[in-house]
Structure 1
Amino acid sequence: MVVGGSSSAHRTLAILTTLGSKEAAERGGLGVVEIARRVGREKSQVSRALKTLDAEGFVERDRESMLYRLSWRVFTMAANAGHPRLLAVAPPVLRRLVGVLGERVHLTVLSSDGVLTVLSQGPARTVQAAGWVGRVTPLHTTSSGRALLFDHGDEEVAELLAGSRFASAGPGAPTGAEEFLARLAEARTAGYALAREEFEAGLVGAAAPVRDFRGQVMAALNVSAPAGRMGRDLDAAGRVVMSAARQLSQSMAGC
């Protein structure tokens, strides 16, 4: 796809379209040189555009292959990006989880600026924790944030938390990176993460990681609810979510 226009907008759209192609998805992404060739632009121009798109959360770069691909934030291109199988097999798991817990559940992924909810399923209740599909929440105040970081080293987590506004979170939120790392260690040991009024007062949550065929964390399942309904049973909810996340992981592994 060679770009016809000369503006930066044309260049950006061409890059996104190229990364949204079926071939790019099958190859796990494309390198800067290949993208530049396909859009008919100089490598330096494409590199600058990709850095901007990466910073804004529309593309991501694989740390091992160094290839660029569309991020989860680009919902309209999700079928040709990241993990289409996850989006296909997750809904029944979410519905069963709602049936067991009677509360809203979510499927989340790690984005460049926090936790992005890609699927959400809730029961017919008058009062529910809000659905957050397409919205990003902070890593340090959500159970999903911790579940998504199970495989990250402490130094890497500290880098991701740099600039986090701990003081503006809910009353139960960690006060700094050191406390967050301690809670993350507890969550790893348990196999699931709990958040008690960390995102906002009166809201609790439990989450567990979903792993791909390589055993690496690719997403997280979580439940969120008013503390008055789930606060006392949050540990039990965490174990239920962990079981559902393992079932989804087995589906992703082809088991």
Structure 2
Amino acid sequence: MSKISSMGRGMQVVFAVGSRHKGGARGATVGDIAADLGKDRSQISRGLKAAQQENFLLRGGHREYSLDWSLYTDAQLLTEQRLRTEGLTALEGLVEDTGEGCFLGVLNGDSTVTIGEHVPPNSTMVGSWIGRPYPAYCSDAGQALLWDASDAEVRAVFSHTEFVRHGPNTPADIEDFLVRLAGARERGYSVVDEEAEPHLYSVAVPVRDFRGETIAALQVVGSKARLEPKCEEIAAAALKWGGRLEAALGRPS
């Protein structure tokens, strides 16, 4: 856990500098980053110096730190790798806590794609969902993956999408989807109740990376008869393991 926490703190400092660049600044001082993150200056100073020594940052003549841009792509690639490896750990823990099939999904256009799965020994699931797309407007992961998107961004995702009925509760249109997404945000997790197919029920939570951006969704999927009565218990487990996965990805605290 200490290794993960150290990695997370280091990424916070590096990408706080990146946020300054995004806002138009040429660099950032220790005081700038300490103020942005609400951390002690000495702690931030150590983090910045360590990042400079590891060649993540450059230091200018005015004591300002700036990104070594060649490493930004490397950080994103590292995050993708950690999402898959640490994601498997989260899936295993979530299955142990819930006894249900658990999945890790990402957004691809207007569809969601499963990149990780783990099911209990007694599962009756036939085949694998790895790599298979499903319409995001009714998939188990769709709402969680669009968690931080504005209404305009969600509309753009589905601008050319036909809302085909896959289950008795499939959203009728984009307005219906937005209402359900708002409800999920207020609840703290999404519930997809017979939207993807009859009798199927799922609970999902968003997973954010070192930038604080949603890059994946962790979901628990099973029959409505079995999952609905223990929905809150399942949601608590999903939030716990989603939080641990985010820590491994360096999400800012």
Verify same fold: TM over 0.5.
Answer: yes
* In 1, Cα distance between equivalents of 2:220 and 2:162: 23
One of 143, 164, 177 as aligned partner of 2:174: 177
Q: Counterpart amino acid of 1:232?
A: P
Closer, same or farther in 2 for the Cα pair 1:228/1:196, shift >3 Å?
A: same
One of 152, 158, 161 as aligned partner of 2:158: 161
**Structure 2 residue aligned with 1:101:** 98
Contact 1:208 1:220 in 2 (8 A): yes
One of 194, 198, 201 as aligned partner of 1:201: 198
Q: Deviations over 1:130-155 (max 9, x none)?
A: 64111011111023100000111101
* In 1, Cα distance between equivalents of 2:157 and 2:218: 21
SS for the counterpart of 2:141 is helix
One of 106, 120, 125 as aligned partner of 2:117: 120
Q: Which runs of 5+ in 1 are unaligned?
A: 1-64, 70-78
Q: Report how far residue 126 of structure 1 moved.
A: 4.7
**Structure 1 residue aligned with 2:83:** 86
One of 201, 211, 214 as aligned partner of 1:214: 211
* In 2, Cα distance between equivalents of 1:132 and 1:244: 20
Closer, same or farther in 2 for the Cα pair 1:190/1:130, shift >3 Å?
A: farther
* In 2, Cα distance between equivalents of 1:159 and 1:126: 37
% same residue:
32
Q: Deviations over 1:77-112 (max 9, x none)?
A: xx9686111112111111010011101101111112
* In 2, Cα distance between equivalents of 1:150 and 1:105: 19
**Structure 1 residue aligned with 2:140:** 143
Contact 1:106 1:223 in 2 (8 A): yes
**Structure 1 residue aligned with 2:231:** 234
- Residues 55-66 of structure 1 aligned to structure 2 (within 5 Å): none
* In 1, Cα distance between equivalents of 2:97 and 2:207: 19
Closer, same or farther in 2 for the Cα pair 1:111/1:183, shift >3 Å?
A: same
Q: Which runs of 5+ in 2 are unaligned?
A: 1-68
SS for the counterpart of 2:211 is coil
Corresponding pairs, count: 179
Q: How does the TM-score come out when normalised to structure 2?
A: 0.65
* In 2, Cα distance between equivalents of 1:172 and 1:232: 18
SS for the counterpart of 1:119 is strand
**Structure 2 residue aligned with 1:224:** 221
Q: Which has the larger radius of gyration?
A: 2
Q: Counterpart amino acid of 1:120?
A: E
Q: Deviations over 1:46-65 (max 9, x none)?
A: xxxxxxxxxxxxxxxxxxx9
* In 2, Cα distance between equivalents of 1:142 and 1:185: 16
Query: Which of 1 and 2 has higher RCO (CA within 8 Å, sep 6+)?
Result: 2
* In 2, Cα distance between equivalents of 1:175 and 1:114: 16
Closer, same or farther in 2 for the Cα pair 1:238/1:109, shift >3 Å?
A: same
Q: How does the TM-score come out when normalised to structure 1?
A: 0.65
Which moved further from structure 2: 140-149 or 119-128? 119-128
Q: Report how far residue 182 of structure 1 moved.
A: 0.8
Q: CA RMSD in A?
A: 2.3
SS for the counterpart of 2:137 is helix
Q: Report how far residue 238 of structure 1 moved.
A: 2.1
Q: Counterpart amino acid of 1:166?
A: F
Contact 1:129 1:225 in 2 (8 A): no
Q: Counterpart amino acid of 1:211?
A: R
* In 1, Cα distance between equivalents of 2:174 and 2:147: 15
